[in-house]
Structure formats: C-alpha cells, structure tokens
C-alpha cells in the first residue's frame, strides 16, 4: 500500500503510483493529479504551500 499525498493545488488525494507528475521544491516532493496542477504550482509554489499548511 502506497502513501497518499495531497495535490497542493486542487486538494485531490493521490498515491505516488497514481500521480500524473511530481515536483521537488525546497527538498520536498509534491505530487499532482495532472500536469495543469503541476504547472500552476510551478508558477508560484509558496502560494500553494501556504494555503495547505
């Protein structure tokens, strides 16, 4: 059973296997349900990290 992660953009829960893509930011890996969420995150990661913390 794989650990679940929350897409920081849309809030969808994904596993590493299900994730469409991932990005490493400040030493932490973030997983995304699709490339559009990853692209939004990449434009301003701190905006999404602050919203979810």
Could you report the per-residue pLDDT of 20-48, keeping only the tens digit for each?
999 999 999 999 999 999 999 999 999 99
Strands 13-15 and 4-6, sheet pairing: antiparallel
Asked whether residue 50 carries a pLDDT value surpassing 90, the answer given is: no
CB-based contacts of 44, cutoff 8 Å, min separation 6: none
The secondary structure of residue 11, as a DSSP letter, is -
The secondary structure of residue 16, as a DSSP letter, is T
If one counts every other C-beta atom within 10 angstroms of the C-beta of residue 45, the result is 16
* Number of domains the chain is built from: 1
Instruction: State the residue range of the domain holding 46.
Output: 4-52
Selected residue with higher pLDDT from 49 and 43: 43
Joined tokens for residue 17: 């296997």
Which pTM was predicted? 0.87
Rg (CA), the chain: 10
């Amino acid at each position: 059973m794989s650990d679940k992660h929350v897409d920081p953009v849309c809030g969808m829960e994904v596993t590493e296997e299900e994730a469409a893509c991932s990005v490493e930011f400040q030493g932490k890996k973030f997983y995304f349900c699709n490339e559009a969420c990853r692209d939004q995150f990449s434009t301003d990661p701190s905006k999404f990290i602050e919203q979810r913390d």
